[in-house]
Amino acid sequence: MRRSIDVLRRARRVRDYGPPLQKNPRYRIYRGASLLLAIALSASATASEPFPAGLSASRTDLTPKDQARVLAVTRPTMDFSKPEPFELMQGGAGTSLKDVNRDTFSQSSANITFEEEATFKLGNALFRKNWVSSPSSTQASDGLGPLFNERACQNCHLKDGRGRPPEGGVGSTSLFLRLARDASNAEEKAALADHKVLNFPDPVYGSQLQDLAVPGLKGEGRMRVAYSEEKVTLGDGTMVSLRRPSYLVEHLAYGPLDPRTTLSPRLTPPMIGLGLIEQIAPADILAHADPDDRDGDGISGRPNIVRDALSGELTLGRFGWKAQAASIRQQAADAFAGDIGISTPEVPKHWGDCSAAEKDCLAMPNGVQERLGAAEAPPPVMDLVTFYSQNLAVPARRDIDKPDVLAGKKQFYEMGCISCHTPKFVTMRGTPDKAQAFQLIWPYSDFLLHDMGEGLADGQRVGGANGSEWRTPPLWGTGLTGTVNGNSFYLHDGRARTLAEAILWHGGEGQKAHDRFAGANAADRDALIKFLESL
């Protein structure tokens, strides 16, 4: 049985495509054996799996008939002569079909109700709200900081899209520096092993460098980025220049950083499709994992198992650059505390990320109003912001039937990109929000951690993610980055100025795809980019 489960997992992952796709034996295994082995997987005991007992290796929300339908519809295509059924609607029934413009990422899911649309708009207002320092006359809005990076969620997630790296050498509020160190003694190692913490903050500056402060207090310091250009020659002689960033902190206000503290830059990601990602069955994500690389293809894929802050249970991390957050609500609460300095019931830090060493910060007033609740952003605020974040629609695909886009899709498959950028999932049936239930979606991500090589390593552990691992980011909406945000910066720190540069930074588990792209002719590379731009 153990061997059968391994075969199914390899087949469902369909790793390491090499041209020609149709001759790949793993694909033939998938076509002939997936449905039969799914039954074996569902019936098997999973005690030997490296996953917590609460995370099932099979979907419990589907009948056998539905399971067969899901396996059939999510099977990777072999036909690149025409679009696949429903491919236009990459966010399922909630896909936005509105005209493409700067507000494209700010549309509500198309299948929410009229009443839910009102809730969405209230959440949007809170997402855009500028918080102010305490005390203030606008008591429902005070509590900012005392140390912070921005006053509103929207100021970081520009137009609900991605941030941008600093230009001209000065720090930017949509690119943050996370501060952390690894365990240094047995007690800390035990806390990490038990998933009680993700890592350990700097003893003075906490878990994030905050360059802004309320009146009467100094910001912690300023991030500075320097770039060096590195020339790369592709197989056909084309020259591409990649920029390598280096980071430092200037004007530290409260003494030096701990020498063990690492700096990890994090660009704010797009907000679209988060509610759909939250409703992908854990079993479907875990089915793509191969932490021990049993199939020997060089691509592992590991889940980041984290402890849910509310329930205390171990669960699957799926949000954030290192998959460190299990839910949208937790991700929002962490951002309120770390980015704006606002406490929530989930993260009740009334002074944000101020450390015990920053006594002037802790002496500042907070914004808790007892008549409103025990946090600066009480439960109704969190409910609305969470609903808004769950229902930002994925835009429809474009140009899906154009020959160059179809050719690029074929290249995407044959170069092995889908080894990590899994095209399709079907969400769970019994979701809290019906708009996300049983939807065929096309995020192009497996939501697992992959070692991306030394070139992209930040050296910072986050839970189960080591210093060179990153969660595969979803690709939907990628081609609209320039339209929405007025820039085209990619990867976790925005170093890549084009999609081609982003691919050429892939190392580690992405090295094979990198090499195939670099060795392809210009027409095939251009077609691949056209496909990515259609997402």
Please write the tens of the pLDDT for every residue from 128-150: 999 999 988 877 889 999 999 99
H or E stretch at 315: strand 314-317
- Under 8 Å between Cβ of 347 and 404: no
Q: Which comes out higher in pLDDT, residue 33 or 211?
A: 211
- The pLDDT, as a whole number, for residue 310 is 81
- Under 8 Å between Cβ of 500 and 446: no
pLDDT at 468 over 60: yes
Give me 514's structure tokens.
């990198």
- Helix and strand counts by DSSP (H, E) for the chain: 15, 12
Task: Read off the pLDDT of each residue in 153-168 and give the average, rounded to a whole number.
Answer: 88
- The pLDDT, as a whole number, for residue 24 is 42
Residue type, 153: C
Could you tell me the pLDDT band of residue 27, with boundaries at 50, 70 and 90?
very low
pLDDT at 50 over 80: no
In the chain, the largest separation of any two C-alpha atoms, in whole Å, equals: 70
The number of beta carbons lying within 10 Å of the beta carbon of residue 370 is 6
Burial class (CB in 10 A: 0-12, 13-18, 19+), 243: middle
- The pLDDT, as a whole number, for residue 136 is 84
Residue in this structure with the two tokens 């932490």, named with its chain if needed: 291
Over the stretch 407-432, which tens digit does the pLDDT of each residue have? 999 999 999 999 999 999 999 999 99
Task: Read off the pLDDT of each residue in 510-521 and give the average, rounded to a whole number.
Answer: 98
pLDDT at 485 over 50: yes
Strand partners, 175: 267
Query: How far is it, in rounded angstroms, from Cα 252 to Cα 524?
Result: 48
Q: Which of 52-56, 142-146, 474-478 has the lowest mean pLDDT?
A: 52-56
- Under 8 Å between Cβ of 127 and 154: yes
Residue type, 353: D
The DSSP secondary structure of 1-61, one letter per residue, reads: -HHHHHHHHHHHHT----SSGGG-HHHHHHHHHHHHHHHHHHHS--TTSSS-TTS-SS-SS
Over the stretch 232-268, which tens digit does the pLDDT of each residue have? 999 999 999 999 999 999 999 999 999 999 999 999 9
Q: 122, 98, 77: which is closest to 380 by C-alpha?
A: 122
Query: How far is it, in rounded angstroms, from Cα 253 to Cα 257?
Result: 10
Query: How far is it, in rounded angstroms, from Cα 27 to Cα 81?
Result: 18
Query: How far is it, in rounded angstroms, from Cα 289 to Cα 513?
Result: 18
Burial class (CB in 10 A: 0-12, 13-18, 19+), 359: exposed
- The pLDDT, as a whole number, for residue 28 is 31
Query: How far is it, in rounded angstroms, from Cα 462 to Cα 148?
Result: 21
* E strands in 150-237: 175-180, 212-213, 222-233
To the nearest 5 percent, what fractions of the chain are helix, strand and coil?
35, 15, 50
